[in-house]
Amino acid sequence: MKKIMVISDTHGEIDEMLEQYNKLNDPDMIIHLGDYALDAKKIEREIGTTVVSVKGNMDGENSEVPHRIIEVEGYKILLTHGHKEKVKEGLTNLYYKALSLSCDIVLFGHTHIPLKIQEGSIFFINPGSITFPRGGSKSSYALITLQAEAVEAEIVYF
């Protein structure tokens, strides 16, 4: 069993995220979905845990691919900020990308609006933003628990 804290769109403000992390019972992993990817390095230094991250639209293009695939507890997870897949216009592009890559779970940000849905066999989770929520949402992150037989995900508001 693995417990994962998922964050996005911190935009240089990590104090609240660190406070929320300290309330959790030591998650096994933290995933940062961009804007600002440098925050992932700051968080790593602060808590001493590896933070898996991808770049967002505010992080510059450089040569880094804007998505990544990781495997955790037998699940293939697509990590992306979402701007390249135009998630503000809907999930269609992201859905087909996940299908083409045979992913079970898709984690994305960019909209600053939390979302948790399942389309077919694919789970889509946007943690929203801890520091800059939009669309009438509150500050939030996602907490995912992966076990061989189940995916449990919740959006945590505060």
Q: Computed from CA positions of residues 101, 107, 112, 116, in that sequence, does the dihedral angle turn out positive or negative? A: positive
List of residues 6+ apart from 24 with CB closer than 8 A: 3, 5, 143
Is the pLDDT higher at 94 or at 65?
94
pLDDT of residue 49: 86
The predicted pLDDT at position 61 comes to 66
Nearest-5° Cα angle at 106, 15 to 152: 75
What pLDDT does residue 62 have? 58
Provide the sign of the torsion angle of the four alpha carbons 106, 43, 146, 68, taken in this order.
Answer: positive
Q: How far apart are CA 59 and CA 21, in angstroms?
A: 23
Residue 65 confidence (pLDDT): 65
Looking at residue 63, its pLDDT comes to: 44
* pTM for the full predicted model: 0.95
Which pLDDT belongs to residue 147? Answer: 93
Q: At what angle do helices 38-47 and 15-23 cross, to 10 degrees?
A: 50
> Mean pLDDT over residues 83-105, rounded?
96
Q: What's the pLDDT tens digit per position in 109-153?
A: 999 999 999 999 999 999 999 999 999 999 999 999 999 889 999
Q: What tens digit of pLDDT does each residue of 34-68 get?
A: 998 899 999 999 999 889 999 999 887 654 567 99
Rounded to whole angstroms, the Cα distance separating 86 from 20 reads 29
Distances (CA, A) of 125 to 26, 46, 61, 133, 142: 21, 26, 24, 15, 8
Query: Rounded mean pLDDT of 19-43?
Result: 93
2-157 carries CATH number 3.60.21.10: yes
Q: Domain ranges for the chain, please list them.
A: 2-157
Rounded Cα gap, residues 149 and 126, in angstroms: 22
